[in-house]
Amino acid sequence: MTLTDRIENSLNLFADFMWGTPTVLLLVGGGLFLTVYSRGQAFRRFGHAIALLRGKFSDPADPGHISHAQALSTALSGTLGLGNIAGVAIAISTGGPGAVFWMWITALIGVTTKFYTATLAVMYRGLDSEGVLRGGPMYVIREGLGRHWQPLALLFAVAGMLGTLPVFQANQLVALLREGMAEPVGLAAAGDSFIFDLAASSLIAVLVLLVVAGKIERIGRLTVRLVPFMVTLYLAMTGVILFHFAEQIPAVFSLIITDAFTGESVAGGIVGSTIMIGVRRGAFSNEAGIGTESMAHGAARTREPVREGVVAMVGPVIDTLIVCSCTAFIILLTGVWEQAEGIEGISLTAAAIATVFPASGLYLLTLMVVLLGFSTMVSFWYYGSKCAGFLFGAHRAHWYTPVYIVLIIAGTLVSLDLVNGLVIGMYAVMAVPTMISTLLLAPRVNRAASRYFAALGAHRFDRS
């Protein structure tokens, strides 16, 4: 076994260990505790969330950098990614249709977790080394728990910087462009695929650089337009497939629910396996409790922390309950998950879409993946640069950008095996400081929420 193989195996073992039962219990168990502790208050405030997203109660003079809608869109652009298309397919392939049900449960619990983490991200914003107001778990820990908790803040920043590297997104995005569009027309035959990959990744890198040069303000302006378009496009594709298989929808619903408690569709019929796969994929999809999205919500322009918490709880609904459900129904309604042996991941989703859109399905999916991958890389740059600024000083954070851009190109030219385990494992590492700080500071969120919602009712804001 070569040194490279040993490193690869070690990193994969690290990822499997970090995404084991303790992390899942911390995320889901912690979220369930917060739901009970808050008496489900977040679920009663979706009407107010819509009002905030429409710009009511906004004041341009409030501290922050972007609007509520831009903060949510930036957070969603980071969570809406290949996991919503490939990850759901993997969950169904390995855990059966019942895994979808447990993804839904995780999303519902994640609504409350997002409410708490985003509220704290604004409540405990801190100044970076250049005196600019920032938000995120590292500042929540430093400002809310105190300087003696600094090692936990540093742990999050290190994991955040490594976990948001663009290698996976760039690799998969260019691969899909090559296989789905370039190779069929002879633009990237086996001999010259290197040239195509280099050209495509360089173009993507330049486009990402043009966006991130405008920092969070430009990212917010881009994502607030891009995210609704992506979701609408995917909903339209799913709507056609739902109409085509309308008679089978009740049976698919029944299959998801029954398989969630029997596990009959998964190899070996193990219910526990179905639950764990669904919970892991759900947590990895909407990132509730991971902490990345808190850095976007922490940049929102508001003086009321609870307002951003209310806005943030819309995220898991869109990400998991809507977009991931679209992928699940596409795969289950078309039946490809039982027929396409040996096909998994994004290829399984592509095969399902092709049953209804034989001529245009691959191109529609490619467009969706291009938009998802690009928006994710833009948001990941913001997350990584803020973590780098926290670790090394904001005045040195600009050195992160050229490294990030180079990794976009390098990620398409080298194997993912060495870094994939590291990136996945670091996501789980981020959850540890995020959830610990959230649980410790939860009473302060409850007190702030009680005051805010009391004032909201007194002034009849919900009717505005």
pLDDT value at position 437? 95
State the pLDDT at residue 438: 95
CA dihedral 418, 422, 423, 428 (to 10 degrees): 160
Q: According to the model, what pLDDT value does residue 462 have?
A: 43
What would the pLDDT profile of 118-165 be if each residue is shown by its tens digit? Answer: 999 999 988 887 788 888 899 999 999 988 999 999 999 999 999 888
**Over the chain, what is the mean pLDDT?**
81
In this prediction the pTM is 0.86
Question: How many Cβ atoms from other residues are within 10 Å of residue 73's Cβ?
Answer: 29
Taking alpha carbons only, the member of 428, 378, 435, 334 closest to residue 31 is: 435
Q: Is 70 exceeded by the pLDDT of residue 263?
A: no
**CA distances from residue 346 to 89, 90, 93, 158 in whole angstroms, order as listed:** 7, 8, 11, 30
Please give the domain boundaries of the chain with CATH numbers for all domains: 28-463 (1.20.1740.10)
- How far apart CA 190 and CA 309 sit, in angstroms, is 50
Q: Which of 298, 284, 360, 296 is nearest to 107 (CA)?
A: 284
pLDDT band at 464 (very low <50, low <70, confident <90, very high): very low
Name which of 370, 373, 406, 409 is nearest 198 in CA terms. 409
pLDDT tens digits along 20-51 = 888 888 988 999 999 999 888 778 888 878 88
Give pLDDT, residue 3: 72
